[in-house]
Amino acid sequence: MPNLALDIAHLLAGGLVLVSFMMLYQDRLPALINVFALHAILLAASVAWQADIQNEPYLYVTAIIALGFKGFVIPMTLRRMIVRLGIHREIETVVGIGPAMLAGIGLVALSMVVMLRVTAEADPLAREDLAFALSVLLLGLLMMVTRRNAVGQVIGFMSLENGLILAATGAKGMPLVVEISVAFSILIAFIVIGIFLFRIRERFDTVDVQALDRFRGDQR
């Protein structure tokens, strides 16, 4: 039954959008990190399922990277980091849950309208994957602007990037998917975890990005 295969692919991709929504309203960092881990695991499942139905064994590599790196290593590192930084009990809300959810619904509607219309002739798997992927991407962007904590912004960026991996997977036979996911993983691991958070912490005693704004150069 080929339709069942498609349905499961849609279920997983749709689940990713749902989890993106869940991330929008997490106001405590440990909970946010847990939801992000769920997001990554769901992405890995979705990519692995598509590797199976598309018969593209190299996609399993992408799935394994997503699962191991973003599903376990990064959340664990982040969890240890926020404990060491002493911000694991902080509560942060910049925009209320209601407005954020409404904006999120608007963005998902927008991406459905745009992507479903322009991809009328593409194959159904790629078509709905793209619509979901754009939703995840825009929700990640929304999350980045509604958070002011650097850890929250980084998680927003990583969820945005999950949307890109989903899009790349949906594009049948696209080369470089593995390379792209590796490149992204390096980007995240390299800058964010290793250097910035600790440097910012060292200088400001906080990872609240608002503290950075005070030091904008032009106000000298």
Partner 1 sequence: MTMLNPLVLVLAIPAASAALLALISSYRLSSRINVLASFLTLVSALSLFVQPPPPDAYFLIDDLNIVFIVLNTFVGFTTSVFSASYIAHELETGRLTPAYLRFYHAMYQVMMFGMNLALVANNIGLMWVAIELATLATVLMVGIYRTHEALEAAWKYFILGSVGIAFALFGTILVYLAAQPIVGEGLQAMVWTVLIQRVAEFDPALLNVAFIFLLLGYGTKVGLAPLHAWLPDAHAEGPTPISAVLSGLLLNVALYAVLRFKMLLAANPEAIAPGPLMVTLGLISLVFASFMLYRRRDIKRMFAYSSIEHMGIIVFAFGMGGPLANFAGLLQMTMHSLTKSAIFFAVGHISQVKGTQRIADIKGLTETHPVLGWGLVLGVVAIAGMPPLGIFMSEFLIVSSTFSREPLLAIPLVSGLLVGFGALLLRLNGLAFGEPSGSVAPVEASYLPMFGHLALVLIAGIYLPPPLVAWFQHVASILG
Binding site for partner 1 (CB under 8 A): 114-115, 117-122, 126, 130, 133-134, 137, 141, 144, 150, 153, 157, 160-161, 164, 167-168, 171-176, 179-180, 183, 187, 190-191, 195-196, 199-200, 203-204, 209, 212-213, 215-218, 220
State the minimum distance, in angstroms, from the CB of residue 54 to partner 1: 10
State the minimum distance, in angstroms, from the CB of residue 60 to partner 1: 18
| Cα first-last separation, the chain | 67
State the minimum distance, in angstroms, from the CB of residue 49 to partner 1: 19
- Looking at the Cβ atoms of 34 and 164, the one nearer to partner 1 is 164
Nearest CA to 162 out of 134, 200, 199, 195 is that of 134
- Looking at the Cβ atoms of 98 and 121, the one nearer to partner 1 is 121
- At 90, give phi and psi (nearest 5°): -70, 150
- Looking at the Cβ atoms of 97 and 205, the one nearer to partner 1 is 205
Amino acid letter, residue 156: G
- Looking at the Cβ atoms of 97 and 213, the one nearer to partner 1 is 213
Q: Which residues contact 156 (CB under 8 A, 6 or more apart)?
A: 23, 140, 141, 142, 143, 144, 147
Nearest CA to 46 out of 174, 168, 189, 144 is that of 168
CB atoms within 10 A of CB 10: 16
Tokens standing for 70? 């973003």
State the minimum distance, in angstroms, from the CB of residue 172 to partner 1: 6
Amino acid letter, residue 49: W
State the minimum distance, in angstroms, from the CB of residue 211 to partner 1: 9
- Looking at the Cβ atoms of 97 and 195, the one nearer to partner 1 is 195
